[in-house]
Amino acid sequence: MALPEHLLQGYGRFRTGRYAQDEERYRTLGAGVQQPKMMIIACCDSRAAPETIFDAGPGEIFVMRNVANLVPPYAPDGGHHATSAAIEFAVLSLGVKDVVVMGHGRCGGIRAVVEGGDPLSAGDFIGKWMSDVRDVADAVRHDHEHGSGLQLAVEHASVEHSLANLRTFPWLRMRENKGDVGLHGAWFDIALGELHSYDSATKAWGVV
């Protein structure tokens, strides 16, 4: 089956637009190896693409996207761990200097945890994937009324929790302690186009 027509049209615009403008860069990247200095762990949400938000060119950012931009704790148990594998590859093989966990507003996965109900049933993939966030939501629920304020608080807290989980990876924690790798939290407001960052020292969020 052929690719959807709108993808082919988009590819046509890419070939005559961005690729034509950056052809030499693409050829250099294609002939060599990637050397990004930044890794971003972001949500699969189609509205919050890191390359677009940060106006990044090809080869600049190593991106890992999953549902709700989660980082699981270090667990080398022989199972399949796509996010952990991407982190390991970025830090140990590519030598990235900064790792950013970036959440976003009105995240569907977070909303399902906050409000309850489908699609987070106990028997499917996404329900198990989001189970850790339930504890995060419970921890902040008593400080907020139900609604957008609660969801935003959980979105922020989930990013903070993922940063803590990043520090359970021993080789990443060691590199952070030596100052070789920086760990950062960010949150993007889709409607306003605003980026918020997390200050680990003051444990506060602010608009960039």
Same domain for 61 and 10 = no
Helix (H) or strand (E) holding 109, with range, is helix 108-115
CATH number of the structural domain spanning residue 97: 3.40.1050.10
* Bridge partners, residue 62, by sequence: 39
- Domain of 141 in residue numbering reads as 36-207
What is the per-residue pLDDT for 207? 97
Could you give the 3-state DSSP secondary structure of residue 169? coil
Helix (H) or strand (E) holding 184, with range, is strand 182-189
CA angle 135, 205, 57 (to 5 degrees): 100
Same domain for 66 and 89 = yes
The runs of H, that is alpha helices, within 22-129 are 23-31, 50-53, 82-88, 108-115, 125-129
Residues belonging to the active site: 43, 45, 47, 104, 107
Same domain for 72 and 17 = no
CB of 120 within 8 A of CB of 129? no
Q: How far apart are CA 119 and CA 128, in angstroms?
A: 11
Could you give the 3-state DSSP secondary structure of residue 203? coil
What is the per-residue pLDDT for 145? 64
Same domain for 23 and 125 = no
What is the per-residue pLDDT for 109? 92
Four-point Cα dihedral 33, 34, 37, 42, nearest 10:
-150
> Could you report the average pLDDT of every consecutive run of 10 residues in the chain (208 residues)?
96 97 94 95 97 96 97 93 98 98 96 76 78 91 73 96 98 98 98 97 96
CA distances from 69 to 19, 25, 65 (A): 29, 29, 6
Same domain for 190 and 91 = yes
The domain tally of the chain equals 2
What is the per-residue pLDDT for 6? 97
Q: Which residue has the tokens 């830090």?
A: 91
